[in-house]
A and B are shown apart, each in its own frame.
Chain A
Amino acid sequence: MTDPPFDLAARLGALLFVSGEPVERAELIDHLGCNETELDAALATLRERGLGLGLVLIEHSGAYQLATAPSLAELVEAFLGLDRPARLSAAALETLAIVAYRQPVTRAEIEAIRGVDSSAALQTLIARGLVEPVGRLPTVGQPIQYGTTVQFLQAFGLASLEELPELPPEISERLLDADAR
């Protein structure tokens, strides 16, 4: 039996299938011997084909990973005998929302919005692997900036941060204003 010729999307799929972790664009380009545009096209093709396998393509800060379709979660959990993780507290969820929309964001910035100390909520999110330090603000004290993880996308069944529900327009504008300042 001879193998059918595999296109770029198929080869990309093989790499993402065996990799348990998100694979960086640069690494994919290196191993597949393609350019950025070709990779984007292959990713789009794979995204479509994945649905036929019950899989989605997750994108997190320029890295890609295959995961089961969020709507199949119940089936997968029953099959693997998984327990649902405990629900997040309201404080943790608010903090997570702020990190998700405002990332990278410092603890002080989170607390400015919430108006209360948020270190415990932040620690919970870090412990659950939903939030991680992503850098430091180049100001006095170099405060740590936080961002969401690929596990956050998995946990909430998001293919990428772009799938986050949109904020009301007046709020987005205000956030842009705040960024400009």
Chain B
Amino acid sequence: MPVDIRSARLADCLITIEGFSGPLDLLLRLVEERRLPVTELSLVEVTDQFLAHLASLEDAPLELVADFTVVAARLIALKARALLPRPAEPEVPGEPEPDDLIRQLQLYQAFREAAQELRLRELRGRRAYVRPPISPPSPARVKVIARDPASLLTALRRWHRRVEPRPVTLRLPPAISLRAMARRLLARLRGGARTFRELVGRKADRRELAAGFLALLVLIRRGAVQAEQEVPFGEIMVIPRVRPWREAAADD
């Protein structure tokens, strides 16, 4: 980007450095036209001489300083560009080069069109159908078919015998009714007070124990017996009350 310096002000600023002597704007022009090697210019000297020129002026216009700034910036840019090593190709790793990118886009476009062809075929629904494979009959199947049809009935009978449910005998211990248990307790109390254990019998199972306890509670409620237990879970002493002969009490 060449800078157009038309300022007559810079023409008044004479610069004398090694290899050049003349106004500042000419210096820039020569550098830009590559007639003066920028790398050999001392920009420090150019700046010093400009500042000296600036100091010599009684009333330095702001425009002059602005012009110089533009020229100096341009010179610095040119010199920096000349001095700095530049990569052979402006290359960013991973990024496809512009030419490759265009090729890729063309390729992609071609496949988009090919995809459209496939879409048309898809839409036309021109599908070709195939049949499932025929599985050959297994030798075992052939053997069964070769048998006498009556064998099917035999097989069915055999199966039926096998799955026929067998009668199951359900053995349940005889249930003791509350009434019978109450009678039993009263009968055993005829000889006087006894422990609950003795009353139900040492070999009583859970069901008998439960029935016995319920019967005991009934008898207590009826006032037929009295019961005492010294400690929780301890022996229960059952004492017959008066008129123990009233066995019918439990029958009500």
Is B134 engaged at the interface, CB distance under 8 Å to the other chain?
Answer: yes
Asked if residues B134 and A93 are in contact (CB atoms below 8 Å), the reply is: no
**Chain A residue at minimal CB-CB distance from B117:** A165
Secondary structure type dominating chain B contacts: helix
Q: What size tier do the contact residues of chain B reach? A: 20 to 34
Report if A142 contacts B (CB, 8 A).
no
> Does A154 sit at the interface, judged by CB under 8 A?
yes
Does A156 lie within 8 Å of B122, measured CB to CB? Answer: yes
Given contacts A156-B121, A171-B110, A174-B103, contact A18 B134 (CB under 8 A): yes
B119 at the interface (CB under 8 A from A): yes
Separation of A67 and B129 alpha carbons in the complex (Å): 5
Q: Which of B108, B121, B124, B132 contacts A20 (CB 8 A)?
A: B132
* Residue in contact with A73 in the complex, picked from B106, B110, B112, B125, CB distance below 8 Å: B125
Q: Please tell me if A36 contacts chain B, counting CB pairs below 8 Å.
A: no
Q: How many A residues touch the partner, as a band?
A: 35 or more
Tell yes or no: A103 within 8 A of B by CB. Answer: no
Contact of A67 with B128 in the complex, beta carbons under 8 Å: yes
Identify whether the interface residues of A are mostly helix, strand, loop, or mixed: helix
Which of B103, B108, B118, B132 makes the CB contact (< 8 A) with A114?
Answer: B108
Docked complex Cα distance between A153 and B134 (Å): 22
Bound CA–CA A164/B122 (angstroms): 13
Cα–Cα distance between A66 and B130 once the two chains are bound (Å) = 7
Q: Is the CB of B118 within 8 A of A154?
A: no
Interfacial chain A residues near B107, Cβ < 8 Å: 113, 171, 174-175
Within 140-164 of A, Cβ neighbours of B (below 8 Å) are at 153-158, 164
Beyond A77-B127, A88-B119, A96-B118, list 15 extra A-B contacts (CB 8 Å): A17-B131, A67-B129, A87-B119, A93-B118, A101-B114, A113-B104, A113-B111, A153-B128, A154-B127, A156-B121, A158-B121, A158-B128, A168-B110, A171-B110, A174-B106
| Partner-A contacts on B (CB < 8 A) | 103-104, 106-108, 110-115, 117-119, 121-134
